[in-house]
Amino acid sequence: MKVRGAGPGAAAGGARRAGPEPPGGPGADGARLPGLLRRMHLFRSSSYDVRLEGAGGSLPRIQGIRWTPLLDSESSLDYGHSITQASSEKIWRAGKLLFAHLSASRPGLIRDHKHHLRHHRQCCSGKELVDWLLGAGAAVQTRGQAVGVGQVLVDSGVLTHVRQEWHFQDKETQFYRFAELELSPEPGAGPRDPEELLEALGFLAQLGPDALLSMALRKPPAQRTQDELELIFEELLHIKAVAHLSNSVKRELAAVLMFEGHQRAGTVLFSQGDKGTSWYIIWKGSVNVVTHGKGLVATLHEGDDFGQLALVNDAPRAATILLREDNCHFLRVDKQDFNRILKDVEANTVRLKEHGKVVLVLQKDLQGGSGQAASARSSRYLVMAGTPEKILEHLLEFMRLDATLYDPVDTLLGDFLLTYTVFMPTSQLCRALLHHFRAEPLEGSEQDKASYALRKRRKILRLVSQWVLLYGRLLQGDRSTTALLQNLADLASRDPQLGGLCQEQGQERRRPRALENGDGSVSPQPKARSSGMWLGSPEEPILDSTCALRAQDKVPYEIFRADHSCLVAVLPVNAAVRDVLRALAPRLRRDREHVLVRVNSAGERAVLPQDALGVFTALGLNERLFVVSRDELGSLTPHPEQLGPHAGSSDTLDLISSKDLASHLTDYDWNLFKSIHQVEMIHYIVGPHKFREVATANLARVLRRFNELQFWVATELCLCPELGRRAQLLRKFIKLAAHLKEQKNLNSFFAVMFGVSNTAVTRLAKTWERLPHKIRKLHSALERMLDPSWNHRVYRLAVAKLSPPIIPFVPLLLKDMTFIHEGNRTLAENLINFEKMHMMAKTVRVLQRCRGHAHAPLSPLRSRSPHRPEDAKAVRISTCSEQSLSVRNPVSTWAYLQHLRAIDSQKELLRLSRELEP
């Protein structure tokens, strides 16, 4: 089913909805995200499908998830535990292994210690334990990771501090004991397998960040270190209850938040009529909101908050809050700290007014960059809100002449250029820039006025050059942009002090380097006149960019009749439905009215409205377009090829090693990924109703490929009838996922792992039993990356340590963008919420960071020797080994991976699965 989770039905008791409804948007969209987020925490028992949703063929607004719960009888088949389901029993088993290896390898580490005239029997210091963990295996590589492992052991009772302190410290003077009686090995137990130790360390290291965060939150605020405050701040960035707050407020919250936990469902947190003393954020679990006379009025879940209104209004609690489940955790802000933060925010906020109305809101940058001088930090203000004109005016006033899109400290220019289309039409921006360029200062001496005007015009030329550098050829065809560039070129050519600068901007465009716009193209050679100083002509080829699609590019539309015959029309990517019907009209019967219909593999039909744009490139997996008359609608059936293959392609896969398969997939995916323009992510989330002249076809292709890959994996396994070969195929896919992860192709890694975790595959018990123990352990280790708890913290920490190039998990980026968009209003008191624009731009910059290299991640295909033909029979025999099965022509392998066929019906996959193993 598609997830359309609704938020709480009422905001009683000071509890509010998870996020304000987007202005101008339907209420259902505002309520969809909380349900989506809750479903994301059910990964291990679910099948995911990124859906391209959108009414009537419009470009999709939000990523949905098709969620298929495991049957009760199937849910026990779990060959890798999710971190969220990690039991204390598993931690104790890991602790037991750790203790056994420690006792065997360093028997003298656990001994009697004397400190401050006190004797501590049979213990080790925190520093000694950290040193041993660092040398015990590759799973623990830093002292911070080792401290995290120690904290997990303390939290679970495996380790205890000699003075019963609850946080683990990496110090010579802090001593810890193992629970020896419980951890001692059984009599007669043989030597331990070193691989078991590595697996145990890997599991504990995975839990470490959560344990350190919990420990930091349990500390009194005055005792938190700077690193712990930063850890809490990073956590707040992913909590939707505070998504609408500025980063400076989040930092203040990090310093005062307190942890509060309750064990039993039914516990009353506070009652209706009580005095309001704290604001609560649900960190784990859920609560019910109950009022007198109405009973249950709402249920709040992880990331929601309650109790704020009573503090703001200084009123009694308006509802009773009851724990809905056991073991709920909350983040609490007490009233005194809450009011102080509000006062601090107000004290550091400047509001500029014109004609009695606020036009710009600035806030002092209390954090600043690490490399900034203290004086620079204290005088720097960040734009929080304002009118579009005033935000632009502030930008031009304070930007540097060498400002760039990706300045890590001063992000205002990049934030503005990446997001201006959300709140300011391009024509309005062009008019404003031209007005500022022509404007003359009214006060000061003639020399001062001339100097000020020159400096401002140089800034405008710099802004325009960075704007064109970012958007590139997307600006071609826009009349207002072309007119602006023509006017600026003419005006600058009359001023000898600006003419040279124009030439510099043109040379910057001519440098043969990949554009920041992410389409993988090299800057064209512009003509040295007028607007060509910035833009090349439409006739010039875009070098090395066979993949990127623009709104005006023409592509073949394949459209089927009711009898399944195919019509082809070459039309622009963003063609409207009426244009498609007009192009097909000569080949249709003139005496009937025809409509364009989108049909999926299940036979579900959607008649597309006449003004819907880009309907062909927005099609999902196994969806097709049909042109039919009204009376043919009822009898319309899917095309046979939409139902997917009837036989698997294991014969073909036998000829390709998992490493070669991963390399070809990574090369193909890199071409798709680098074609995504950064602003496509913003256009995709904000919606086509606002951007009718832009395309998000490149992003849609990446999402469709993600679905195609995960269902291809499940399809191949469900269409492999022989048990032995099916087990070998499953083994190949698990190794494929490992190679994809190694090559930093995380998007396809997630897709393959989701395919392996599909319900139709996880229920194949006999197939999983055939897997070697080593492959099962590999699968379990890979699954840790998929853990969705704490907003995919495991994945985010792993990506932060990688250097580019990287192909990230794109659906999660879109989830982050949706989270920001639907959790924050674009307009507040008739001002643009620029803090929201900053958060959106920061997420979009992930694309630029991941593409910080011209070539695909770890592409061994470029340096490998040509394939040598070998005997096919010999290759078939060697299927069990992964030694170079690279006899298949790389061209044919590439063609195979470009046209993967998959069954996307979960019902059909389950039917096939039950036929294989009833």
Band of residue 81 on the pLDDT scale cut at 50, 70, 90: very low
487-520 burial by CB neighbour count: b if 16+ within 10 A, else e? bbbebbeeeeebeebbeebbeebeeeebbbbbbb
| Predicted local distance difference test score (pLDDT) of residue 87 | 57
The four Cα atoms 878, 880, 884, 885 give a dihedral, to 10 degrees, of 70
Contact 600, 908 (CB under 8 A): no
User: Is pLDDT at 909 greater than 90 in this prediction?
Assistant: yes
**How far from 141 is each of 190, 193, 228, 549, CA to CA, in Å?**
28, 21, 20, 43
Structure tokens at 357: 């109305």
Classify 303 in phi/psi space as left (phi over 0), alpha (psi -120 to 50) or beta.
left
pLDDT digits (tens, 9 = 90+) for 768-825: 999 999 999 899 889 888 887 777 888 988 898 899 999 999 999 999 998 888 888 8
Chain position carrying tokens 């996922």 = 737
Using a 10 angstrom Cβ sphere, with 0-12 exposed, 13-18 middle and 19 or more buried, the burial of residue 587 is exposed
Strands of 312-397 (E only): list them: 320-323, 328-334, 349-354, 357-364, 381-386
Share of the chain above pLDDT 90, in %: 39
How many Å apart are CA 754 and CA 430, to the nearest integer? 46
Contact 5, 31 (CB under 8 A): yes
Beta bridge mates, 659: none
Which stretch of 134-143, 178-187, 376-385, 888-897 has the lowest confidence by average pLDDT? Answer: 178-187
Contact 642, 601 (CB under 8 A): yes
User: Is pLDDT at 167 greater than 60 in this prediction?
Assistant: yes
In terms of Cα–Cα distance, which of 839, 894, 793, 868 is closest to 40?
Answer: 793
For residue 895, count other CB atoms closer than 10 A to its CB: 10
Band of residue 461 on the pLDDT scale cut at 50, 70, 90: very high
Contact 849, 843 (CB under 8 A): no
Amino acid code (one letter) for 32: R
| Predicted local distance difference test score (pLDDT) of residue 218 | 87
How many Å apart are CA 912 and CA 419, to the nearest integer? 47
Length of the chain: 918
Q: In terms of pLDDT, which residue wins out, 356 or 140?
A: 356
User: Is pLDDT at 661 greater than 90 in this prediction?
Assistant: yes
pLDDT digits (tens, 9 = 90+) for 195-247: 778 788 888 888 888 888 888 888 888 888 888 888 888 888 888 788 778 77
How confident is the model over 358-387, as a mean pLDDT?
A: 71
Structure tokens at 112: 């009697």
Output helix, strand, coil percentages for the chain, rounded to the nearest 5.
Answer: 50, 15, 35
pLDDT digits (tens, 9 = 90+) for 508-540: 554 444 334 444 443 333 333 345 555 544 433
Contact 103, 113 (CB under 8 A): no
For residue 280, count other CB atoms closer than 10 A to its CB: 23
| Predicted local distance difference test score (pLDDT) of residue 343 | 83
- Within 8 A by CB and 6+ apart from 255, the residues are 221, 224, 229
DSSP 8-state secondary structure symbol assigned to residue 646: S
| Predicted local distance difference test score (pLDDT) of residue 327 | 87
| Predicted local distance difference test score (pLDDT) of residue 207 | 84
User: Is pLDDT at 687 greater than 50 in this prediction?
Assistant: yes
| Predicted local distance difference test score (pLDDT) of residue 520 | 42
User: Is pLDDT at 390 greater than 50 in this prediction?
Assistant: yes
How many Å apart are CA 633 and CA 607, to the nearest integer? 9
- Give phi and psi for 224, each to the nearest 5: -75, 135
pTM of the model: 0.74
Using a 10 angstrom Cβ sphere, with 0-12 exposed, 13-18 middle and 19 or more buried, the burial of residue 529 is exposed
For residue 109, count other CB atoms closer than 10 A to its CB: 15
Q: In terms of pLDDT, which residue wins out, 372 or 712?
A: 712
Structure tokens at 501: 């600068």
How confident is the model over 672-681, as a mean pLDDT?
A: 91
Band of residue 52 on the pLDDT scale cut at 50, 70, 90: very low
Contact 64, 52 (CB under 8 A): no
User: Is pLDDT at 86 greater than 70 in this prediction?
Assistant: no
Average pLDDT, the chain: 79
Long-range contacts of 396-399 (CB under 8 A, 24+ apart): 396/436, 396/456, 396/459, 396/460, 396/463, 399/459, 399/462, 399/463
Q: In terms of pLDDT, which residue wins out, 828 or 34?
A: 828
Q: In terms of pLDDT, which residue wins out, 43 or 415?
A: 415
pLDDT digits (tens, 9 = 90+) for 846-903: 998 998 866 667 654 444 434 333 333 333 233 333 444 444 566 688 888 888 999 9
User: Is pLDDT at 841 greater than 90 in this prediction?
Assistant: yes
How many Å apart are CA 234 and CA 246, to the nearest integer? 13
- Residue 791 CB-half CA count within 13 A: 16
User: Is pLDDT at 164 greater than 90 in this prediction?
Assistant: no
Strand 278-284 to 258-262 pairing: unpaired
| Predicted local distance difference test score (pLDDT) of residue 126 | 93
Cis status of the peptide bond prior to 221, with omega within 30 of 0: no
pLDDT digits (tens, 9 = 90+) for 279-326: 999 988 999 999 988 889 999 998 889 988 878 778 888 899 999 998
Strand 328-334 to 278-284 pairing: antiparallel
